[in-house]
Amino acid sequence: MKHVAILSPGTSKQRSVFTALRTKLAELGHVEGRDVMLAFHLGGGAARLPELAQAIARDGAEIVVTDGQIASVAMQAVTRTIPIVAVAGFDPVQFGFAANLARPGGNMTGFATISDEIAPKHVEIMREILPTARRIGVVYATINRPTHRALEERAAALGLALRHIVIATRGDAERELAAAAIADVDGLVFPANPITAGIARDLVALVNATGKPAIYGDRDFVAAGGLVFFSYNIDDVFRQVAGYVDRILRGTSPGDLPFEQPSRIELVINLGTARALGIAMPLLLLARADEVIE
């Protein structure tokens, strides 16, 4: 069996992205337990990722799939020979991981989900839902500086103030997302992050209990009862990751596979949650939705 490692700062291997990866690999002829062994290395935050990356390199994985920017940076720091297929919100050329997007040339390829292009749209959608909003809470597990700047610029243009909330664990979430703790914000946005996606169900329960609207960058949230999802179809991205894993296992060099940017962006609205929260969703927003969950 081929050894495929997955390095993630998240906490759960049951996320929809990993289901999409496994399913597509099986469709391509790589059945888990027969042809490939998928080894999940979950950090539960950023701190353990360098240690986990070293263990992966030491154990001799054939390929590593990295979930997010910090996982990709940690893995690249310990090997320039093991093929890495990254899904991360960064510019790989700027980080020195690729000579160019069309032909990276090294041991890393993948999909650059540039988060600073998507997150400002969350603020715009929140303005549509709450035209009178004055302050929006932005919930991160780790602050991505380009995303931070992009959010601040868009909020300022819309006349909104932002309050940045950092959570890394369920305990942090219970404290920082309690009704009293976020009484000063009108709504919340959650930029895509594998750490928060791993505890999506807990976060949605906390947010919905406050009655405040929230927009999420990971589809796991809306599946758990979150109000709005807007971002790339990340499950589709992980299906494409499986295609890259397949090609590398069959002999293609990662340096010959282009870094790609996903193009399919989805807006999903959970109308059942909107009704439960007493939020009247704008008709124009509903008309633009790719999916409305009743």
Residues 97 and 87 in one domain: yes
Please tell me the distance from the alpha carbon of residue 157 to that of residue 214, in angstroms, as a whole number.
20
Please tell me the distance from the alpha carbon of residue 154 to that of residue 201, in angstroms, as a whole number.
28
Q: Tell me, what amino acid is at 285? A: L
Segments forming the whole domain that contains residue 207: 115-232+266-293
Residues 177 and 33 in one domain: no
The CATH number linked to 31 is 3.40.50.2300
Tally of structural domains, the chain = 2
Residues 163 and 282 in one domain: yes
Residues 175 and 271 in one domain: yes
Residues 107 and 123 in one domain: no
Sole residue written with tokens 């109000």: 227
Q: What is the pLDDT of residues 16-26, one digit of tens each?
A: 999 999 999 99
- For residues 101 and 258, is the Cβ–Cβ distance under 8 A? yes
- For residues 170 and 202, is the Cβ–Cβ distance under 8 A? yes
Residues 210 and 251 in one domain: no
Residues 165 and 288 in one domain: yes
Which pLDDT does position 143 carry in this prediction?
74
Residues 65 and 127 in one domain: no
Structure tokens at 289: 């939705």
Please tell me the distance from the alpha carbon of residue 57 to that of residue 83, in angstroms, as a whole number.
11
Q: What is the pLDDT of residues 52-95, one digit of tens each?
A: 999 999 998 999 999 999 999 999 999 999 999 999 888 889 88
What average pLDDT does the segment 244-257 reach?
97
- What does the DSSP assignment read for 149-215? HHHHHHHHHTT-EEEEEE--SHHHHHHHTSTTTTTT-SEEEE---HHHHTTHHHHHHHHHHHT--EE
Report strand pairing: 228-232 vs 265-270: antiparallel
Residues in CB range of 151: below 8 A, 6 or more apart: 119, 120, 123, 138, 162, 189, 191
What average pLDDT does the segment 193-221 reach?
93
Residues 126 and 198 in one domain: yes
- Give the pLDDT band (50/70/90) at residue 198: confident
Q: What is the pLDDT of residues 112-157, one digit of tens each?
A: 887 777 889 999 999 999 999 999 999 988 777 778 889 999 999 9
Which pLDDT does position 114 carry in this prediction?
72
Residue 111 to residues 182, 206, 227, 262: CA-CA distances in angstroms?
A: 34, 31, 27, 7
For the chain, report the end-to-end CA distance as a whole number of angstroms: 43
- Give the pLDDT band (50/70/90) at residue 294: confident
User: Structure pTM?
Assistant: 0.88
DSSP H or E segment with residue 51:
helix 49-59
Residues 21 and 121 in one domain: no
Residues 171 and 65 in one domain: no
Q: Tell me, what amino acid is at 153? A: E
Nearest to 249, CA basis, from 63, 32, 54, 28: 63
Please tell me the distance from the alpha carbon of residue 227 to that of residue 193, in angstroms, as a whole number.
17
Looking at every residue in the chain, the average pLDDT score rounds to 93
Residues in CB range of 17: below 8 A, 6 or more apart: 67, 197, 234, 235, 237, 238
Residues 162 and 196 in one domain: yes
